[in-house]
Structures are given as C-alpha cells and as structure tokens.
Structure 1
Amino acid sequence: MTKSKHKLTDVAREMMSGVVQIHVEGYIEEDIQSILNPSIKIPGIWSGSGFFVKFKNLEGYIVTNAHVIRNAYKVEISSMLTSEERFDTEIVGLVKQLEPDVALIKLTDEELKRFKKTAIQPIAYLELSEKTNPSRGEAIKAIGYPLGMVEPNITGGEITNFISGSELTTERFVTNAAINPGNSGGPSINENFEVVGLNTAMMVNAENIGFITPASFVKIIIENLLLFNEPHFADIGGKLQKNAENFNLFLNQSQAKGVIVSKVLKNGFLESAKIQPYDVILSINQVEFDRHGIVMGKEGIYRHKNIFDIIKLIPIGQEVEITYLRNGKRETTKAFAMRDPQKGIVSNPILNERAYLEVFGMIIQPLSFEIIQAIQEIDPYSQVDLLKVIDQDQPMLVVTHIYQGTEADEMEWSIGELITQANHQEVHTLEEFQKVVEDNRGKSILIKCLSGTIGYFNVEESIKFGI
C-alpha cells in the first residue's frame, strides 16, 4: 500500500480486505448462575470483527476485542477474500479483564495454507499507527461486520474526544462513526493507510458515540501476548490523590502542583523508587502534572491525559525518572517500570478457569471481582463485607451457592459467607480447605466465617469433591 495521502473512502475500500468476521461458539459469561455455580454453563453463539495485523514477520495473526472471544470454545473466521469459507483459529491470548479490550488470534498452520489457496488475492495486513496523539476532528473510517452482516461495513466519522484512563482503566478515543454490535474488534483507519485503533464499544442510549482502543495500547498488548499469553501494563504501585492549596503548609509546598502519594503498595513501583506517603509526584519522564494529575503543557490543552495514561505506555522493565517533592525539597529518583503488585483478590472472568469445590451442600470458590459483582445483584448487603477484603494480600474463599435441604441450608448459611477457618486452621485456598476436609474423613469439621457464622459438618468416608 502506498503511503501518500488518498481519499479516505478509497483507503477504506482497499483496507477492508484485511478485515475479517469472527464466528464464536462459547459460554454466555454474563449469566449470574454460571458465576455463582461454575458447574452451570450456558452455551451461545455470536460474532464480531477483527483484522490481519502487520507486526514484525508474523503471518495469519488477527487482532480483535477480548470480549469477542472471551469464554469461547470454538473460534472461526471468514473473509471477503474467500467467499463464505470458514477457517479455524487458535487463541494466542487476550486481556481477560478487558482493560484494554484486546485479543490476538491466529489461523492454524493448515488453515493459513488453505486460506492462501482459497483467497482471490494476497492477505492485506493492516499497519498500526505510530502516532499516539491523533487530533480531535481527525477523519476516520470504522470497518467491521455489524449485526452479523456477511459483508464488511464502512462508517465514517471523526475522533471527537478522548477519555482518560485511571488506575484500573486505559485511555479510549471517542468517535461519532457508527459502531454497532458485531463491529467490535474491527479497525478504525485514517487516510494514511493506518489503523488508528480498535473499535471497542458503543454508548448505549446515546447517538453517534463510540469508543476506540488506541493503536499504541494494541501494540503493547500484542508484544506482551506473544511473550506471556497475558499482558500487563506498567502500574504506579500505590494510591494517589488530588493536591490542593490547603495542603501547602502540611506538605511545605508553595503551590498545589503534582499529585499526592497517599499509599505505597508493597512490592510495587513506588516502593522500588523509594517514594514515601505524602511525597508529591511532579513529573514522570519530564512529563509534568497539575494538581489533578493531568498532563500540563501544550499537550494538556488538547488532551485530558493523566498520570495513569503516561505510566501505562512505558514498557515494563524500562527505567523511569520521577521528580517529586518531599518536605518542600525537589528530588529526583529512578526505578524500573513494573506491573501492579499481585493481590489476594483478583479478577477471574474465564469460566473454564474457575476452580471450585462442591461440598456439604454448597459451592465454594476463591473470591474474585466477578463474584462480588454477581452477589451484589442478588444481595446488596452481602457485598459490604466482600469489599472490605479486596486489598488484602491473601486470597479468600467464598460461598457462592447453597443447595436446598442440605447441611449448609439447615444451618442457615447464605451466599457471600467468607470462610476463614476449618478446624481452627486458617484456610485461604481451595487446596488448603480440601486437605483439612480429607484429613477428617469419618469425623466432623468446624468451619468458621469472617462474619462469625459457624458450621459443624459431618465428613463422610466416601465424600467426593465436585471440581
């Protein structure tokens, strides 16, 4: 493809040959029953979009949204180059938490050969833009297969706005180009034959507001997926809060500039940099921040980029320079970018990866963010105790289902109970809990919960664990 500027419509027509439709068979992950009782899996079929990506010397690799293939057990693609033929793919990896919503799949070796043999022309590999700062008002075209259409659809629009990232989310571009269900995973392209970003979502109940995952994040994800199967961004490794003039005397600062470090997490980036609570971070790699943590200078006029957006785009392992204020004195330190410190309570959205025990008439699982959210929909009061343990270093076990007429039901146990002890031993994992139960076959076992609830269960000699 030539690099000189062309009419955007002509560019889109040429690039759409690299866009594919993705056909998925999998489990419907939104079903609360499946989250609280993993033995229940609701099958479903759906479709999305993707595109062959130009990356190093890779062949047959396709970028899409993670939500398109998450919890899939069969993923096929079709292309306008190959009539209505379908081709099997393998999942290389995906961002399980959908932040950002990116996944990488590939044609199997045999299917790549068959695709090349069937295609009416060579595969068009689309190039990710090197530009990290598109302009508001920049024209784009979104390409994909919305609503299950069998031919690629092209919609036009502009980059209309930007949404800053946060501690838990990544930056997104906003567009007025129509993005509908099925468009997810397709590219948004510019007149330079480049992919600006990945069509990710639409705003429900709003007109002409869609979201694009920037190509800069997609590149980092691809690199990480090829190396680790699951990507991680650099993380600040602590809690930050807005600065204010009221803090001037306390922090010995002349004006409220930069963000306050309110907490330093163990084994995190800030600890590695020897940053302490109440230090004020003024800049990272010479990028300065105002008291809200927003990037200052010319870039800040046109973009609402913040400190989290800056840190996430630094490759893990790269040295980072931090300028900060401590007791009124300006200091500089360096540390290597690293991922967020591992917590005991994590996200686990992949249904087939959820381990559980079925014993004493109840389902017991490691506590995860998905379980907290599901329990909130059933019993909002249970969530209060669950949220208290999110930041702890150790995992926790939670009761997610009670079968009627069982021992647990007779003792009036409820969903959301957090198990802390079994026969006076602390238990944090399913393996620890199962070992205590197995060691007491033919006896009874006392189980205690964080709420104070107790249970005294008979352990049968022939007890079997449903896992």
Structure 2
Amino acid sequence: MTKTKRKLTEIARQMMSGVVQVHVEGFIEEDIQSVLNPSIKIPGNWSGSGFFVKYKDLEGYIVTNAHVARNAVKVEISSMLTSEERFEAEVIGLVKQLEPDVALIKLTAKELIRFKKIALQPIEYLELSEGISPSRGEAIKAIGYPLGMIEPNITGGEITNFISGSEFTTERFVTNAAINPGNSGGPSINEEGKVVGLNTAVMIDAENIGFITPAGFVKIIIENLLLLNEPHFADIGGKLQKNAENFNRFLKQSQAKGVIVSKVLKDGFLAEAKIQPRDVILSINKVSFDRHGIVIGKEGLYRHKNIYDVMKLVPIGEPAEITFLRNGKIHHSKAPAMRNPMKGIISNPILNERRYLEVFGMVIQPLSFEIIQAIQEVDSYAQIELLKTIDQDNPMLVVTHIYQGTQADEMEWPLGEMIIKANDQEVHTLEELQKEIEECKSDSILLECLNGIIGYFQIEGAPKSNLDELS
C-alpha cells in the first residue's frame, strides 16, 4: 500500500465517526394513487446516510440527501459512537425537487445532550471543501451505510468524470467508488480530510458509476436552509441556443463564440441585465464560453463546465457581470443574480403539501409535474395534453381522480381535464374555484375545461378540501 493511499485510508477512518445512519418513517411518494388522490397515503420505512457538518459554530446539524428526508414523518439517526442507540432529529429543510439532492436535519436540543453523554468520543464534524473542484483521477473515499448495514462502509475510488448541469439540473461529479442504496447522503472525502461532495446516486445497470453532489452546491443549500429560505440557485432567466459559423454575417461576429439568447424571461436575470434576444453571451464574471456554452480555458480543458454551472454558483443577490455581443459590438452589463421567474406549473413532490378539492365526485388539484408524470401511467394521451400547458404563467386546475357513481362519473369526465372557468368566471386556483361554488346563487354550477368540455353539476353541500389544514 502506498503512502498516499495509507494516508487517505487513515483520514477516512477518522472521518467515519462523523457519519450517521438516518432512519425514516414516512409516506412512499412514488405511489401513483397518492399523487392522483392526496387523501391516500402509503406508509413506509427506509434508511440512508448523513454526516455531521462543520459550519460556523453550529452543533448537531447533519447533511443528508433530500430523497432520504422527503415525505418523512419521523426521523432518527444512529452512530457508531453510540452503539445502536437512536436519536430523534428534525428536518430543517430540503431541496424538494432533488436538484441538488440535499437536505439539512439536526438533533433536537435534548437529543444532542443525550448523544454527547453516551458517545465514546466528541462528535467529528466534517468540513466542506471550498475553492477549486477536484480533478479527474483524484482519489476519494465514499462513506455511508449501504443496504441498511448497521456499521459504516468505506469504499475507495477516484473522480472519474463530470456531468454538466443544465437549465433544470445541477452539476455532478462521477466516481467509481461504490455507492449503493442507503449509502446516499454520506460524504465523499479527499486526502485533505475535506468533503468534496455528497454521495447522491448510482446509475442502474452500470458498473462502478456513482454520482456526487459537489460541496459548493451543498454549502449554498445549507446557507439557504439556515435562513429558512426555500433553496434556489441563480438562473439565466431565459433560453439559450448554440452559436455557429453560419450566424457570423447575421450576428456581425468574426467567429462563433458564446451562446445566442433566444428568449428573455420577464423579471429574470437577463431582463434585469438589459439583454435582448439575439444577443450573444460571451462571458459571465469574466468566465468565457465557446459556441456550445462550455467554459473556455484550463478548467474547460479538463471538464465540460458550462454556462448554467457558472451561473448557479453565483449567490442570489450578488452582482454578476455579463459580457455580450450586439450588432457586432461588445457590451458589458451587471445585474443581481436571481432565480428564474416562477411559472404557473410547478413541481410539488411533498405529499403533505399537496392541496386538493373534493367536489362533484372529483379530486381537483393544481397541476404539477408529478401529476403529469403520474397521469402518463394511466392515460398517455391526457399526459400529452397536459404537457402543452407547462409554460403557462398562471396555475392550472386539473381533475386527478373520479369516484364511481358520482356526478362526474355519470357525465363521463375523463382524468386530466383542466378546469378554466366556473359559471363563466376564470379560475386558476383552488381558492377561486371554492369561492365560486360557495357563493353560487343557484343550486347548480357550470364548469368549463380548457378543451371546451363542460359539466353542469348540482351543488350538494360545501366542497371538501385540505386548504385550511395547509394554510
């Protein structure tokens, strides 16, 4: 064994005592029934990994994967420092859409005291790596509790590759260190004894390919969650397309460098920076891009870091300088980094946060990406219709379940109908629909759908909902 490997192994053994197993009782989110009818919840138990994170002067805070803590009702942790004792933890916050797959939990004050009293030694707090990202071929150790093992597991490997982020995803490191179910949420550490990233996932049907969420993203998420903010990254605030030599005369460029702005979203970063469609973005904060949007320079030589990766690592609110080409002339502009403007159709993966109205034999919910995906399992044609609406600025209401023998069933309303009017009044939210029903002066109400289908329903009592529970 070489000196370097021996050193990394010793560091991993020391840091192993800061890694914990996370035990969760909650609801199984993948169940299609519970997506289409939120009153149905399927209980389950699962486990993952996490680690005590060194951050300012905080004690008892643990980083894990969001998919481990998402839809949890009860969370406990166990550690090799405390035998098989379990300690209650609370969820501080998480990235609901799993991009990146990061959550922050903490031991309750009472349980932290009990943990420290029982522990064989002081808690090992692990420090997140900062600055330059690891290089391809750099040795790492992944630590966690794979497959529900009751002792932590250490696997060795290297950073083998990088996966660039996109408009919707964050960058990931690729490793050949073994990462298995249950191992996710644990740290991958380097020879400096720092956490290079969070073990996140393994690719099914591939050998020795695992993914790590970079420490830089984890740090941004922790800061957001400690401020009790919904964690978001800065985004471009528009649509981009690749440049090409064919555009040289049209764009008055000498060669194809930088990416073309094809669309500017209202109230987004590009709009704030006074960027227009057909401008060519050459650099952000002096980081230059080629025609594919890939970073030019030494970092770009060894990995495909792109314009989205660069933008996401600018803290929201900090000024970002953008250099662009317009009509053959180079311009500079500045604007605060910000998230993309909210659209009407969003992701809503947390079961306890799903809002619904039960009326006329239907379950009606705000349309979300999870509902679109679930409806695909039932009716692919309905999913195609729903996908046409995802760029809407306003929310949409969708019928996700029909009870047999009810008014909606007798009218043969199909799954996936999108309600847009009640008694000729536009409705975009459950509150608006509920108000129209409750204030209706007649004993019947006319509902109209996006595709023109109508329904005439007899009002029989107040609609049932969970709106008050979630307000």
Correspondences of 1:284-363 after superposition (within 5 Å)? 284-363=284-363
CA distance in structure 1 between the partners assigned to 2:141 and 2:8 by the alignment: 7
> What is the TM-score when the length of structure 2 is the normalising length?
0.97
Q: Note the C-alpha offset of 1:224.
A: 0.6
3-state SS of paired residue (2:314): coil
CA distance in structure 1 between the partners assigned to 2:256 and 2:406 by the alignment: 60
3-state SS of paired residue (2:414): coil
Q: Note the C-alpha offset of 1:115.
A: 0.4
Instruction: Give RMSD over aligned pairs.
Output: 1.2
> What is the TM-score when the length of structure 1 is the normalising length?
0.98
Correspondences of 1:46-61 after superposition (within 5 Å)? 46-61=46-61
Identity of counterpart residues, as a percentage? 79
Q: Which position in structure 1 is the counterpart of 2:74? A: 74
CA distance in structure 1 between the partners assigned to 2:58 and 2:438 by the alignment: 49
User: Is 1:239 aligned to residue 239 of structure 2?
Assistant: yes
Q: Which position in structure 1 is the counterpart of 2:469? A: none
Q: Note the C-alpha offset of 1:390.
A: 1.1
3-state SS of paired residue (1:7): helix
CA deviations 1:181-226 (Å, max 9, x no partner) are 0001000001111101000000000100000000010000000111
Q: Note the C-alpha offset of 1:278.
A: 0.5
CA deviations 1:300-342 (Å, max 9, x no partner) are 1101000000000001111111000111111111111111111
Tell me which amino acid in the other structure corresponds to 2:462. Answer: I
Q: Which position in structure 2 is the counterpart of 1:437? A: 437
**8 Å CA contact retained: 1:132, 1:216:** no
Q: Note the C-alpha offset of 1:464.
A: 4.0
**8 Å CA contact retained: 1:442, 1:458:** no
Q: Which position in structure 2 is the counterpart of 1:20? A: 20
Q: Which position in structure 2 is the counterpart of 1:463? A: 462
Q: Which position in structure 2 is the counterpart of 1:42? A: 42
CA distance in structure 2 between the partners assigned to 1:412 and 1:35 by the alignment: 21
User: Is 1:173 aligned to residue 147 of structure 2?
Assistant: no
Give the number of equivalent residue pairs. 463
Correspondences of 1:378-389 after superposition (within 5 Å)? 378-389=378-389
CA deviations 1:340-364 (Å, max 9, x no partner) are 1111111100000000001000100
**8 Å CA contact retained: 1:92, 1:229:** no
Q: Note the C-alpha offset of 1:131.
A: 3.4
Q: Note the C-alpha offset of 1:463.
A: 3.2
3-state SS of paired residue (1:74): strand
CA distance in structure 2 between the partners assigned to 1:188 and 1:298 by the alignment: 25
Q: Note the C-alpha offset of 1:253.
A: 1.4
User: Is 1:256 aligned to residue 253 of structure 2?
Assistant: no
CA distance in structure 2 between the partners assigned to 1:415 and 1:452 by the alignment: 15
Correspondences of 1:269-284 after superposition (within 5 Å)? 269-284=269-284
Q: Which position in structure 2 is the counterpart of 1:29? A: 29
**8 Å CA contact retained: 1:367, 1:396:** yes
Tell me which amino acid in the other structure corresponds to 2:120. Answer: I
CA deviations 1:36-71 (Å, max 9, x no partner) are 000000000000000000000010000000000100
CA deviations 1:228-281 (Å, max 9, x no partner) are 342110111000011111212221212111001000001100000000001000
Q: Which position in structure 2 is the counterpart of 1:421? A: 421
CA distance in structure 1 between the partners assigned to 2:154 and 2:297 by the alignment: 36
**8 Å CA contact retained: 1:94, 1:229:** no
Q: Which of structure 1's runs of 4+ aligned residues deviate more than 2 A?
A: none
User: Is 1:119 aligned to residue 119 of structure 2?
Assistant: yes
**8 Å CA contact retained: 1:6, 1:192:** no
Q: Which position in structure 2 is the counterpart of 1:158? A: 158
CA deviations 1:46-97 (Å, max 9, x no partner) are 0000000000001000000000010000000000000110000010000000
CA distance in structure 1 between the partners assigned to 2:203 and 2:400 by the alignment: 32
Tell me which amino acid in the other structure corresponds to 1:205. Answer: D
Q: Which position in structure 1 is the counterpart of 2:409? A: 409
Q: Note the C-alpha offset of 1:376.
A: 1.4
Unaligned stretches of 5+ residues in structure 1: none
**8 Å CA contact retained: 1:5, 1:192:** no
Moved more, 263-272 or 221-230: 221-230
Q: Note the C-alpha offset of 1:5.
A: 10
CA distance in structure 2 between the partners assigned to 1:228 and 1:279 by the alignment: 37
Moved more, 8-17 or 223-232: 223-232
Q: Which position in structure 2 is the counterpart of 1:220? A: 220
CA distance in structure 1 between the partners assigned to 2:371 and 2:274 by the alignment: 35
3-state SS of paired residue (1:130): coil
CA distance in structure 2 between the partners assigned to 1:95 and 1:174 by the alignment: 21
3-state SS of paired residue (2:320): strand
Tell me which amino acid in the other structure corresponds to 2:212. Answer: I
Q: Which position in structure 1 is the counterpart of 2:266? A: 266
Could you say if the C-alpha distance between residues 5 and 337 of structure 1 is closer, same or farther in structure 2, counting changes exceeding 3 Å? farther
CA distance in structure 1 between the partners assigned to 2:309 and 2:115 by the alignment: 39
Q: Which position in structure 2 is the counterpart of 1:372? A: 372
Tell me which amino acid in the other structure corresponds to 1:296. Answer: I
CA distance in structure 1 between the partners assigned to 2:287 and 2:191 by the alignment: 30
**8 Å CA contact retained: 2:434, 2:463:** no
3-state SS of paired residue (1:365): strand
CA deviations 1:398-451 (Å, max 9, x no partner) are 000111111111111111111100000000000000000011266110000001
**8 Å CA contact retained: 2:252, 2:328:** yes
CA distance in structure 2 between the partners assigned to 1:329 and 1:57 by the alignment: 50
CA distance in structure 2 between the partners assigned to 1:428 and 1:295 by the alignment: 42
3-state SS of paired residue (1:239): strand
CA distance in structure 2 between the partners assigned to 1:91 and 1:173 by the alignment: 26
**8 Å CA contact retained: 1:202, 1:210:** yes
Q: Note the C-alpha offset of 1:119.
A: 0.4
3-state SS of paired residue (2:227): helix
Q: Which position in structure 1 is the counterpart of 2:194? A: 194
CA distance in structure 2 between the partners assigned to 1:466 and 1:254 by the alignment: 61
